[in-house]
Structure 1
Amino acid sequence: MSTTTGVQALVRRTHEERVLAALRAEGALSRAGLAQRVGLSRTTLSEITAQLLDRGAIVVLDTDAAVRRGSGRPAERLALDPSAGQYLGVDFGHRRVQVAIADASHEILASGLERYDDGLAWDERVSLAFDTIDRLSSEHGLHLNALQAVGIGVPGPYTGRHGDHSVVAWNRGATPDGVDRSFATRFDAPVTVDNNTRLAALAEAVSSPEGASDLVYVRLSDGVGGGLVVGGRLTRGARGFAGELGHVTADPAGTVCRCGKRGCLETLASVPAILAACRVQGADVTDLADLAAAVERADPVVDAVLRRVGSVVGHVLGAAAMTLDPVEVVIGGEIAHIAPAIVEQAARTLRYELYSIPVDGPCQVRAGRLRDSDGAVGALAAIFHQSPLLAGYPEPETSDERNTRRSAQ
């Protein structure tokens, strides 16, 4: 693709964002009113609004006939289409896919979750995600004709940019090769793919009212992963492994992990591992609902298991915090809310690990705010691409770039 074409695509996208931002802030506006607010010529604005109308991103709401003075022809007023899903966030976990659809104002219009077996092939996972998207669109009366971008989170280390990428997966058969192409083909929109837990870290950092220039995030779910915000930037690392706290060795003599090592944090602190540990100790716990009930009745066996897990998590987080000196340490995943003992014990352990650091106070340790939708919300945050946390991150592929690449293949 030529530099000129790339610059033109960037300029057009910038103009579109300015028009959409004005309609978000002001509501319905005439073309003349839009031109005045965004500082574009009427010719340029006409081209931009024509493209947005064609895609279904905006609609002609009415005319200004009721408020117009003089005898001129009534002007059409343009507005955002409330039924247009314009951004799609998808989080593929080990055992479930979470979907979130947002509008042009970045408000989430619909979200949903579907579960599957850990060994489900990736083409079937993608098919299930498509079914979920179709169901949500139908239930909420949405259309995706104006879809501007798709953000996708996948488990395990992921590196890559646009159509040229390499993937490292923890277990055979779990490599999400071609997920980006499947979504790009289905929706004809630029696709960004990254590690799902790293995207969840982004979502937590963006949502933090305290600011998140330095943050360590770990998510306890079907697996265990993490993400790092360092110096105000979400960090991927040289090979996409930055923040993979789930595969830090926590017990050298422990059980074999899906990655092939022994005693990784994931073997001790993932939801399946925690439930299994409760059962080994004699507690009647088979799922998170059972665990919540046991916590509610203050089951001493379950409490002891949770606090042991919290200690292990705290030790691993302590090493990361000692290295990075974060403002916040966040423990995500539904279990962090169901079993607050994990967060409490991890915070105590972390304070001990950081005791030697002469500071005014320890970093804050908290449960994630965004619950189990954090990966899909983080995928949306990544494709909005408005946060300085994403400085240095690759931009999603534009339609011009995608067409150029296809013609060269």
Structure 2
Amino acid sequence: MSVQGVHALVRRTHEARVLRVLREHGALSRGQIAIKVGLSRTTLSEITGDLLSRGAVVVVDTDAAKRAGSGRPAELLTLDPSSGQFLGVDLGHTRVRIAVADAAHDIIASGHAAYPAETGWEERVAAAFTLIDRVGARTGVSFRALQGVGVGVAGPRAAAPELAQPFGERFAAPVVVDNNTRFAGLAEAMTDGPDVHDVLYIRLADGIGGGLVVGGRLVAGASGLAGEFGHVTAQPGGEPCRCGKRGCLETVASIPAVLRSCTKGGLPTATIDEFESALSRGEPVAVRVLDEVAAAVGRVVASAAVVLDPAQIVIGGRLARGAPAFVRRVEEILAGELCPVGGARPAIRAARLGDDDGALGAIAALFRQSPLLDGYPEPAR
């Protein structure tokens, strides 16, 4: 790492300590902050000056009322509760979701809005800006001092340049664009705290995607396609896939594929709700389809786990939420597929977060930017 990178990392660490102290103790003078974080007055003055200029903290009062003796009253600093510092945006197929975090990394506002599936990128960005304005007006949150914007998109990162520019121009902040499912994987990894560094995430929905968190870092891959489990072959020579191949996992385990399999088996199910209802009644066709899907997912995920050796495997999407037996069955398949020697097997669980996971993951990606994680992916102004 360069000397400049080391200095930036040290400064960011000091900033994080100052913000944590203010979050835990409320309004404090610079002298009190310096004592609690163990920094010199000079260093502390530089850091608080920068935080004030960015709008992360504000002066709320002085200690004149409690001060004994003479001397100039000291200003009391606190986190600005209305200053958004990090903005996460998830531009999904049919809706946009946003989340806003303050300087202490706490979520202070969120919202969502729908649009038709055929909506173009320009219109989706416009819908995001309208939603951001509406959330700001409703909550009083300001976006004038944003340190970064993370934008999650459905599909590959092909839209990254055309999306980064309008967000960068609107907010005058660095912008990171990536797949929203990969962002969701990073958000899920962070729910287990700082000790879980290697996570394999797969989401089963209308399509199938995923993400890889390695060493605490979200991996995009050379072409931005890392974690595309949906297009791994699950049934050689199987049904044609929209990608041009045959037998991809998406043709077996996506929600539309599950519903088609039930219909072919003589149990017409038009929605995932009907499928879950059939499962709860113990309908043999639904149970068989669930078992087949779990087996296919288990084999694909096991192959990736043998190569990557993750500490944890997280399964997201409606099947994982609505059919607990599904995750247990995948775990059984993994137990039989993984190598029986060397180390502990990965923990397996259903995803914990809801539909805002992509926006939260976009913010998480901004948090993870540091000189140590240089290059994920390069922020654009």
Band of TM-score, shorter chain = 0.7 to 0.9
Indicate which of 345, 362, 367 corresponds to 2:350: 367
Letter in 2 for 1:60: V
Structure 1 residues 305 and 23: alpha-carbon distance in aligned structure 2, compared to 1, 3 A threshold: same
C-alpha distance in 1, partners of 2:79/2:46? 17
Distance in 1 (CA, whole Å) between partners of 2:186 and 2:82 is 27
Q: Shift of residue 209 of structure 1?
A: 5.4
Question: Structure 1: which 5+ residue stretches go unaligned?
Answer: 159-166, 168-174, 403-409
1:217 maps onto 2:201 in alignment: yes
CA gap of 1:34–1:230, structure 2 versus 1, over 3 A, is closer
1 CA distance for matches of 2:175 and 2:236?
39
Equivalents in 2 of 1:25, 1:185: separation in Å? 34
Residue correspondence of structure 1 range 250-269 to structure 2 within 5 A: 250-269=234-253
Report deviation, 1:116: 3.4
Q: Secondary structure at the match of 1:178?
A: helix
- Flag the 1:300–1:245 CA change in 2: closer, same or farther, 3 A: same
Q: Match of 1:317, as an amino acid?
A: V
1:384 is matched with which residue?
A: 367
Which sits farther off after the overlay, 135-144 or 242-251?
135-144
- Mean alpha-carbon deviation: is it higher for 375-384 or for 359-368? 359-368
Overall identity of the aligned pairs, in %:
54
Superposed displacement of residue 303, structure 1: 3.1
Task: Give the Cα separation in 2 of the matches to 1:65 and 1:20.
Answer: 23
Aligned-pair CA distance for 1:191: 1.0
Alignment of 1:73-222 (within 5 A): 73-158=72-157, 167=158, 175-208=159-192, 211-222=195-206
Residues 127 and 268 of structure 1, relative CA distance in 2, 3 Å threshold: farther
- Aligned-pair distance for 1:205? 2.1
Structure 1: distance between partners of 2:349 and 2:247: 25
- Return the offset for 1:328: 1.8
Aligned 8 A contact 2:209 2:229 in 1: yes
2:40 is the alignment partner of 1:57: no
Letter in 2 for 1:195: N
Q: 1:268 to 1:133 in 2, by over 3 A?
A: farther
Give 1:41 deviation, angstroms.
6.2
The verdict on how the C-alpha distance between 1:192 and 1:340 changes in structure 2, with shifts beyond 3 A counting, is same
Query: Are 1:215 and 1:228, in contact at CA under 8 Å, matched by a contact in 2?
Result: yes
Q: Distance in 1 between matches of 2:110 and 2:280?
A: 28
Selected match of 1:303 from 287, 301, 316: 287
Tell me: CA distance 1:90–1:77, structure 2 relative to 1, closer, same or farther (3 Å).
same
TM-score, normalised by the number of residues in structure 2: 0.85
Distance 1:327 1:16 in 2: 30
| Count of equivalent residues | 380
CA deviation profile, 1:222-253 (whole Å, cap 9, x unmatched): 32111223455433323222221111122343
Taking a change above 3 Å as real, the CA distance of residues 146 and 285 of structure 1, as seen in their structure-2 partners, is farther
Q: CA deviation at 1:264?
A: 1.8
Alignment counterpart, residue 351 of structure 1, candidates 318, 328, 335: 335
**Higher alpha-carbon deviation: 208-217 or 236-245:** 208-217
Change (3 A) 1:230 1:260: same
SS of the residue 2:104 aligns to: coil
Contact 2:218/2:376, CA 8 A, preserved across alignment = no
Deviations 1:107-143 (A, max 9, x none): 1122233333333211111122222222322332312
Q: Does 1:70 align with 2:69?
A: yes
Instruction: Tell me whether 270-279 or 137-146 shows the greater mean CA deviation.
Output: 270-279
- Corresponding residue for residue 339 of structure 1: 323
Alignment RMSD (CA, Å): 3.3
- 1:17 CA drift (Å): 4.4
In structure 2, what is the equivalent of residue 405 of structure 1? none
One-letter amino acid of the structure 2 residue matched with residue 236 of structure 1:
A
Letter in 2 for 1:214: D
* Structure 1 position 49, deviation (Å): 3.9
Aligned in 2, Cα 1:112/1:306: closer, same or farther, shift over 3 Å?
farther
Partners of 1:22 and 1:258 in 2: CA distance:
52
Measured against aligned partners, the alpha-carbon deviations of 1:137-172 in whole angstroms (never above 9, x if no partner) come to 2332312122111112223333xxxxxxxx3xxxxx
Q: Judging changes above 3 Å, is the alpha-carbon distance between structure 1 residues 210 and 328 closer, same or farther for their aligned structure 2 residues?
A: farther
Q: C-alpha offsets along residues 254-273 of structure 1, whole Å, 9 cap, x if unaligned? A: 34333232232123322333
The answer to whether the 8 A contact 2:204-2:255 is kept is yes
Residue 106 (structure 1) shift: 0.8
CA shift digits 1:352-392 (9 cap, x unpaired): 222x522576432211122332222221111112799x735
The answer to whether the Cα contact below 8 Å between 1:94 and 1:222 also exists between their aligned partners in 2 is: no
* Aligned-partner residue type, residue 185 of structure 2: A
SS of residue paired to 2:355: helix
Query: AA paired with 1:333?
Result: G
Q: 1:79 offset after TM fit, Å?
A: 0.6
Runs of 5+ consecutive residues of structure 2 not aligned to the other structure = none
Secondary structure at the aligned position of 1:32 is classed as helix
Paired amino acid for 2:368: H
Match of 1:217, SS? strand
Matched AA of 1:117: P
Conservation of the 8 A alpha-carbon contact between 1:93 and 1:222: no
Aligned to 1:319: 303
- Given the two structures, how large is their TM-score scaled by the length of structure 1? 0.80
Give the Cα–Cα distance (whole angstroms) in 1 for the partners of residues 197 and 6 of structure 2. Answer: 31
Q: 1:338: how far off?
A: 1.1
